[in-house]
Structure 1
């Protein structure tokens, strides 16, 4: 009898692991201030953090800051609903700050002459799994792009300007069916 009980418990544990929420990779749509989809961020759990593959278009050419924010809310046009930077360890802002950085601080990105960004960034302290550093803890977080560059030091957000694009990072973020402007239109290819 003990063998059967052990067998069923082991089988149940294996099956529950197979049907659990898929956390990596996780794709999220990025929207501008007019609520138009301008691209995607694909987040992948890596041994050294979370890799963010960011692909967006329609930005002003030049340097822009990208940060993870504390709430999965993207109410246009200001995106203030996203809250402050994701900072579960209560550090100061800035990748160049000796008392920093926020877990949501990332390198600046360069939009080319056409306004396109296609880059991979790393969040070294973040996780997609459960825990204090999870981007999916509570309801989730968001990714926000600003119109200026982050100076890496100024509190609380690097003097990076207005928020111009936002995407919710949640377990169901990849269920968004809006077409991605950075990908070729499948209907036109036929």
Structure 2
């Protein structure tokens, strides 16, 4: 299986992922994205992110826990795989885990499809695509970190060979999710923890709660 072009935390600003506001030295006060997604109207969806090379495109409108639209993502088939473009506004500054989840339902305070006894923010979207196939960091739905500037805006472009249109639009769909914290991609060396990453880290990369979600639609 081809992996995402950029999956390393350390290389998130350098490879094919384009992180809004990244600059040499990690200066969070650097220039914001050239096109503010909120400039043309209410919510980030007023300006669509760039598409790939003209292939079939899918769209996910991201909403926060209050139901307000905070961004838009497009997923476009390209020669290199699936290109993911996202722009957000109004989110907390810093790095955020960014994944494609296995169920196309974005409901606040909802039960997990795998365990209905568990409820929480956007748990209706299920786990990451490919979560049952490998540890976190190697899931098909794992994407590079999304960086949000102090102004609350962020953008990211990445290409992955691990996602296909069929997988994104299967019977229960899929969803794009932004997490509250940064993703460590289960990178916990044994010199820090004798047993390596624990189960939670291997499942989610310790990215924390889900703060924005958008069901993928054709």
The answer to whether TM tops 0.5 is: yes
**Aligned-pair RMSD on alpha carbons?**
1.5
Q: Which of 48, 61, 65 is residue 29 of structure 1 equivalent to?
A: 61
1:111 is matched with which residue? 148
1:63 to 90, 95, 102: 95
Partner SS state of residue 203, structure 2: coil
The answer on 1:147 being equivalent to 2:180 is: yes
- What is the deviation of 1:89? 6.7
Provide the C-alpha distance between the structure 2 equivalents of 1:104 and 1:82, rounded to a whole number of angstroms. Answer: 12
Match of 2:212 in 1: 165
- The TM-score normalised by the length of structure 1 is 0.69
> Which residue number corresponds to residue 136 of structure 1?
169
Structure 1 spans left out of the alignment, 5+ residues: 1-22, 95-100, 172-190
Matched, 1:90 2:133: yes
In 2, Cα distance between equivalents of 1:89 and 1:161:
19
Q: Per the alignment, in what secondary structure is the counterpart of residue 155 of structure 1?
A: helix
Larger Rg: 1
- CA offset at residue 88 of structure 1? 7.0
Q: Offset at 1:115? A: 1.0
Report how many aligned residue pairs link the two structures: 139
d(CA) in 1 for partners of 2:106, 2:162: 23
In 2, Cα distance between equivalents of 1:66 and 1:150: 8
State the distance in 2 between where 1:76 and 1:42 align: 22
